[in-house]
């Protein structure tokens, strides 16, 4: 695993995110891949009918496989949003939510909520986490 040099993010972004990117410009935790800071893009969240969900001022900051890691700039909450949630039998696109970047890193990227990044277990065709090397590593360390 290679850690890229850190970068300084703009002050308008949450301190937790700035601290993470100060450590490495391309954070990755298994299937959680944070984007290059220059690739952060404003994101309008939509429902199954194409209507915009009023979720405040949001920014896509990464990917969790086919899903987006989204930051709400108003509340500093971080969540995984699945734009194809209706195809996966989910009632909402909000797969997983944390109140801050720090909570997301602690409980999802490095913790027990990592196996839920692809939605509820009952929506999976196969238990992907059993063959996921990052999940196996988290289990070995006793984090998941």
| Model pLDDT for residues 116-139, shown as the tens digit of each residue | 898 766 666 667 777 889 999 999
Between 122 and 17, the higher pLDDT residue: 17
CA pair distance 30, 110, nearest whole angstrom: 10
Between 47 and 54, the higher pLDDT residue: 47
CA pair distance 21, 54, nearest whole angstrom: 28
Question: Mean pLDDT over residues 41-48, rounded?
Answer: 87
- 80 lies in which domain range? 15-141
Q: How many domains would you assign to the chain?
A: 1
Q: Quick check: is 2 in a domain?
A: no
Question: Mean pLDDT over residues 97-123, rounded?
Answer: 89
Q: What is the pTM of this model?
A: 0.89
Q: How confident is the prediction for the chain on average, in pLDDT?
A: 89
Q: Which of 59, 61, 63, 62 is nearest to 72 (CA)?
A: 59
| Buried-state track 65-88, b at ≥16 Cβ within 10 A, e below 16 | eebbbbbbeeebbbbbbbeebeeb
Q: Quick check: is 4 in a domain?
A: no
Residues 6+ apart with CB under 8 A from 49: none
Q: What is the pLDDT of residue 124?
A: 63
Question: Mean pLDDT over residues 26-54, rounded?
Answer: 90
């Amino acid at each position: 695993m290679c850690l890229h040099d850190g970068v300084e993010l703009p002050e308008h972004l949450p301190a937790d995110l700035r601290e993470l990117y100060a450590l490495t410009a391309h954070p990755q935790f298994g299937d959680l891949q944070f984007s290059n800071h220059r690739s952060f893009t404003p994101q309008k969240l939509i429902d199954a009918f194409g209507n915009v969900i009023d979720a405040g001022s949001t920014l896509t900051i990464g990917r969790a496989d086919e899903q987006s890691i989204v930051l709400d700039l108003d509340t500093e909450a971080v969540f995984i949003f699945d734009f194809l949630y209706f195809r996966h039998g989910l009632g909402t696109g909000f797969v997983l939510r944390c109140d801050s970047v720090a909570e997301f890193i602690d409980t999802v990227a490095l913790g027990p909520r990592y196996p839920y990044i692809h939605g509820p277990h009952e929506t999976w065709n196969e238990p992907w986490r059993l063959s996921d090397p990052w999940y196996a590593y988290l289990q070995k360390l006793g984090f998941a």
